[in-house]
């Protein structure tokens, strides 16, 4: 007993999960198993809000927080995004707000988080810059989930899955059982 760490239970390995998130209202969440298998990919939960006479999609923060809590990831990969040239101020603010919400949820649950630049994961996964290229590459890497990337609007799903693939293969992720608070 003296000072020996208990062996990692096989059940612990089976429940360890990693989450990759493409932020924004058109983004998605990709959940990976401890072995790096894609478990599932879901669209970012959103609500439609009327602002200044226009319908705008916003992240449904309570639903997102619940999804993250239910998945219980031991590490989260979030695409590190910034303002894009030519993007309007409302759009930029909304995107920044989404990024902050994700960072806040992870921090409030003490989940270790890595922020990955799009150019890094795209280069690392050999993903073309265009959205259709991301869907195509995701179908190649995750053929059993190809139906999840079939529609044009599934580019957020593809990008979340590719981000997670890159993160798991390039980052030194601390296993869940070794994280102590």
> From CA 180, how far away is CA 110, in angstroms rounded?
10
Predicted confidence (pLDDT) per residue in 58-83, tens digit: 899 999 999 999 999 999 999 998 65
Q: How confident is the model at residue 96 (pLDDT cuts 50, 70, 90)?
A: confident
pTM of the entire structure?
0.84
pLDDT of 175 above 90? no
- Over residues 79-107, the mean pLDDT reads 77
Residue 158: which of 43, 57, 68, 48 has the closest Cα? 43
The number of beta carbons lying within 10 Å of the beta carbon of residue 176 is 20
Q: Which two tokens stand for residue 67?
A: 């999804």
146: pLDDT strictly greater than 90: yes
Q: Which CATH architecture has domain 15-174?
A: 2-Layer Sandwich (3.30)
Q: Which residue has the tokens 């599934």?
A: 154
Average pLDDT of the segment spanning 30-54: 93
């Amino acid at each position: 007993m003296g000072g020996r760490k208990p062996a990692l239970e096989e059940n612990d390995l089976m429940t360890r999960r990693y989450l990759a998130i493409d932020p924004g209202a058109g983004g998605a969440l990709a959940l990976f198993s401890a072995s790096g298998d894609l478990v599932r990919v879901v669209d970012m939960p959103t609500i439609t809000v009327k602002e200044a006479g226009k319908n705008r999609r916003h992240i449904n923060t309570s639903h997102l927080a619940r999804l993250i809590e239910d998945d219980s990831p031991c590490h989260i990969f979030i695409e590190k995004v910034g303002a894009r040239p030519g993007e309007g101020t409302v759009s930029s603010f909304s995107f920044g707000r989404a990024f902050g919400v994700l960072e806040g949820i992870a921090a409030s649950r003490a989940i270790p988080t890595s922020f990955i630049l799009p150019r890094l994961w795209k280069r690392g996964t050999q993903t073309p810059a265009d959205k259709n290229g991301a869907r195509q590459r995701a179908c190649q890497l995750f053929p059993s989930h190809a139906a999840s990337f079939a529609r044009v609007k599934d580019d957020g799903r593809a990008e979340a899955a590719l981000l997670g693939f890159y993160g798991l293969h390039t980052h030194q992720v601390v296993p869940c059982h070794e994280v102590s608070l």
